[in-house]
Structure 1
Amino acid sequence: MPFTGFPEAALDFYDDLELDNSKSYWDAHRETYRTAVAEPMAALTEELADEFGVAKIFRPNRDVRFSKDKSPYKTHQGAYVAVAPSTGYYVQISAPGLRVGAGFYEASPTRLTAIRKSIDHDRHGRELERIVAKLKKSGWEFGGDTLKTAPRGWDKDHPRIQLLRHKTMSVMRDYGFDEVIHTPELVEKIRVHWRETKPLLDWLVAHGDV
């Protein structure tokens, strides 16, 4: 089935779910989730798979075993294309609209050490700085989980201390309610934007491979 856009019903579904995150709401609107959210997301990622790879579409249920928040359902639908462990492309639909991103969301201590050593390296670290600066200039929001202080073993006055503090690293771009999210043209828009993030992912794969 070709991707034709996310209908307005997808945004309305998540608006209402934020107000009533319950099994009774979900059961009453299960068909809306299927036709307005799940099927369009599957169609979207299938059309992008030829260039970026097969996506994992996340389950709508939350894992509440270790959470104080026992709300049963996620208030967004995400999909992720892996290029390395915990590293890849991302797209998400929710009440505030659509957003895309790329980066790594988790790293073992060994991998994180390898990434930090590459950030410390004069040539590799400067390369990452240039990649991040270019993405920011193009409208991407650079972020991730960071330490409040310098990582152990690193000088707090290091010229790239802001990058060294990262435990995860990502860039995100919001489309919000842009009309394009309701059209087939969304595929090409995401394709272009994911291509912009490829240098960052390539850097992370090359320097985080242990």
Structure 2
Amino acid sequence: MSFTGFPEAALDFYDDLEIDNSKVFWEAHRDVYQSSVAAPMVALTDELADEFGPAKVFRPYRDVRFSKDKTPYKTHQGAFVAVGPATGYYVQISAPGVRVAAGFYHADADTLAAIRRAIDDDLHGAELEKIVGTLERKGWEVGGDRVKTSPRGWSADHPRIDLLRYRSLTVSRDYGFDEVIHSPALVDRVRKDWRQTRPLVDWLVRRVG
């Protein structure tokens, strides 16, 4: 199946799901989810797999076991191409439209320590600083989970303390309701943007090993 774009019905589906996140609604609109959301997402990521690798298209069900929020379904559909531990490329559709991202989304203690040692290194740390700065200038939003103060063992006056504070580090870009999301041209748009983020992903993979 070739990717032809996400239909308007995909956005409408998530608009309605945010209002009525129930099994009754889901069962009544399961066919819309399959045809307008899931199938196009698989087609999109399949067309990108030749360059970036196969994607995991996430299940639509929330894990509510340890959450106060018991709504059963995710209000977005994401797909992730992993090239390292919790590191890679991401694309998502939801009520606000399509969003792309890249970076690392979680790190255990040893992995995070390795990343911070690389940031501390003058050569490798300066390289990451340059990569992130370049992406910011190209319009990417830098985000991730970060500690409010200095991480334990690091001085507040470290020249790259802002980067050291991150426990996850991502860059993202929203397409919103741009007409491209409804057309086959979305494949090339995502491909171009993921290529822009490749230096960040490659840095993370090299530094963590």
State the number of aligned residues: 209
Q: Within 5 A, what are the aligned runs for 1:44-193?
A: 44-193=44-193
One-letter identity of the residue aligned with 1:201: V
Separation (CA, whole Å) in 2 of partners of 1:26 and 1:140: 34
Residue deviations 1:29-49 (CA, integer Å, cap 9, x gap): 000000000000000000000
Separation (CA, whole Å) in 2 of partners of 1:24 and 1:152: 48
Q: Give the aligned partner of residue 199 of structure 2.
A: 199
Specify every segment of 5 or more residues in structure 2 that has no aligned partner in the other structure, as ranges: none
Q: Give the aligned partner of residue 28 of structure 1.
A: 28
Separation (CA, whole Å) in 1 of partners of 2:107 and 2:208: 9
Separation (CA, whole Å) in 1 of partners of 2:11 and 2:45: 18
Separation (CA, whole Å) in 1 of partners of 2:120 and 2:150: 13
One-letter identity of the residue aligned with 2:47: E
Separation (CA, whole Å) in 2 of partners of 1:168 and 1:77: 21
Residue deviations 1:31-69 (CA, integer Å, cap 9, x gap): 000000000000000000000000000000000000000
One-letter identity of the residue aligned with 1:66: F
Separation (CA, whole Å) in 2 of partners of 1:78 and 1:99: 9
One-letter identity of the residue aligned with 1:172: S
Separation (CA, whole Å) in 2 of partners of 1:88 and 1:96: 23
* 1:208 Cα deviation from its structure 2 partner: 1.6
One-letter identity of the residue aligned with 2:99: R
* 1:108 Cα deviation from its structure 2 partner: 1.1
Q: Normalized against structure 2, the TM-score is what?
A: 0.99
One-letter identity of the residue aligned with 1:141: E
One-letter identity of the residue aligned with 2:63: D
Separation (CA, whole Å) in 2 of partners of 1:114 and 1:31: 45
Separation (CA, whole Å) in 1 of partners of 2:39 and 2:127: 39
Superposition RMSD in Å: 0.4
* 1:157 Cα deviation from its structure 2 partner: 0.8
Separation (CA, whole Å) in 1 of partners of 2:138 and 2:54: 26
Q: Give the aligned partner of residue 13 of structure 1.
A: 13
One-letter identity of the residue aligned with 2:198: K
Question: Post-superposition, which runs of at least 4 consecutive aligned residues in structure 1 deviate over 3 A?
Answer: none
Q: Secondary structure at the match of 2:31?
A: helix
Separation (CA, whole Å) in 1 of partners of 2:84 and 2:71: 31
Separation (CA, whole Å) in 2 of partners of 1:138 and 1:152: 32
Separation (CA, whole Å) in 2 of partners of 1:88 and 1:72: 27
Separation (CA, whole Å) in 2 of partners of 1:118 and 1:63: 34
* 1:160 Cα deviation from its structure 2 partner: 0.5
- Percent pairwise identity: 68
Q: Secondary structure at the match of 1:173?
A: strand
Specify every segment of 5 or more residues in structure 1 that has no aligned partner in the other structure, as ranges: none
One-letter identity of the residue aligned with 2:90: Y
* 1:143 Cα deviation from its structure 2 partner: 0.7
Separation (CA, whole Å) in 1 of partners of 2:201 and 2:17: 33
* 1:185 Cα deviation from its structure 2 partner: 0.3
